[in-house]
Amino acid sequence: MKLTVIGCGHLGATQAACLAEIGHEVLGVDIDEARVSILRAGRAWFHEPGLDDMLTRKIRSQRLRFTTSFTEAAAFSSVHLLSVSTPSLPDDDGYDLTRVFTAATTLAAHVTRPSLIIGRSTVPPGTTARLAREVAVSARAPIEVAWNPEFLRVGTAINDTLKPDRIVAGVPGPEAEATIREIYRPLTRAGVPLLVTDPVTAELAKGTANAFLAAKLSLINAIGDICAATGADMTALAQAVGLDPRIGAGFLTAGIGYGGGCMPKDVRGLAAFAKATAAHDAARLLSVVDDVNTSRRQRVIDLVRAVAGPVHGRRIALWGAAFKPGTDDVRDSAGLDVADRLSRLGAEVVVYDPVATGAALVNFPHLAFADSALAAAHEADAVLIGTAWPEFAAINPAAAAAAVRTQLLVDACQAIRPALWQAAGWTVAAPHQPFDQAERPERPASPREA
């Protein structure tokens, strides 16, 4: 099939390449000329493992190309996958649908034949119906609107697209259903389940999935507080609970909490919608989930201050700026937020991340940055791990000890094996573990305090 993908961000660019990979002819559309220029060269403008290679191969095979022209898009295909972002509103927790409606109505003005718009962004219930009414005003031919939510995770987006757990399609009628089944036939033939629903149910699917995962993370972090108070082994406890098939082992890592461009936004957006529709229990529950997650950041700051003493004038290394491993995405990064707050308390914070340094520097130019973990740790009074990159687990504790001034490590995301570091003379603290103030290591006088 010939398909367009409107919006070439993390979702759209990956989706365009993967649709070409399974045999379709795809035209990616974005209004950002710089972004399109990078994609035309066979590179993503963000870090996603394997995507550059796929883009290069599909462009060379002439199954994939990119444009800024909506006129070209409307002429190319009658099936358009709408993949623009839906950030939170500036002064509200609800979704900002400006880009969704702008992209769809702009496209509709160029449509001259019966067409189908398939929404992929995360939106509140009722968006499909609203969008159908809006595009009907400017279209010169009938346009149907369906909703097909994405379930991609940055860092594993290609696998999530080509081997998804499920495909959900909210359709207005049989023709739209038939089109979506044809798009995904290569995947469904391989055994991927396709669930056809009404549009409102499909609109709720992504937000609800993220809300469940967020609730699980917030609950295990709250239980982590109990472990810290009692001395219980959080890792063993999570393993014991995770072996229950009704619960499962995923998302049971206590630590600094979740971040990124989707989960926090989706929890807050669903809570805002629930509140607006008088679904009070849902609104209250989701608000607590968000509050618990947000509180993790202050808990990490309090832990750093408890183990290191007053942070003013002290050098703290932050290992990890991305909101999770495998990406350069720093949107709502818990680690960077903690680093920023420590900096405002007077600490000298030096940040290292394997791939996200550039994005972090743009968003937090007042922080210092290093080109390696050990360089960031040079003469540090404490090391804080904010992202569980495998690189940090592989660091030699003795080599790190030679770099720092004080062998104090706060592992906010269960990134390392504490016993190995403790054997090398390190004091290791974590939010879910008890910490005896008497165990705080003596800190040598700092030249900066002289």
Would you please indicate which residues are annotated as catalytic (active-site) residues? 262
Strand arrangement, sheet containing 368-369: 368-369, 348-352, 315-319, 382-385, 408-411, 427-429
Residue 437, amino acid: Q
**Contact indicator for 315, 381 with CB cutoff of 8 Å:** yes
Structure tokens at 177: 């259903």
Q: How many residues does the chain have?
A: 450
- The closest alpha carbon to 132, from 112, 113, 118, 150, belongs to 118
State how far the Cα of 333 lies from the Cα of 386, in Å rounded to an integer: 9
The continuous run of DSSP H or E covering 244 comes out as: none
Structure tokens at 134: 């809006």
- The closest alpha carbon to 111, from 81, 70, 82, belongs to 70
State how far the Cα of 370 lies from the Cα of 138, in Å rounded to an integer: 52
Structure tokens at 92: 């509200």
Collect all residues with Cβ–Cβ distance below 8 Å to 113 and sequence separation of at least 6.
78, 141
If you write DSSP's letter for every residue of 303-319 in order, what string do you get?
HHHHHH---TT-EEEEE
What is the three-class DSSP state of 147? strand
Strand arrangement, sheet containing 64-67: 64-67, 25-29, 2-6, 79-82, 115-119, 143-147, 167-170, 194-197
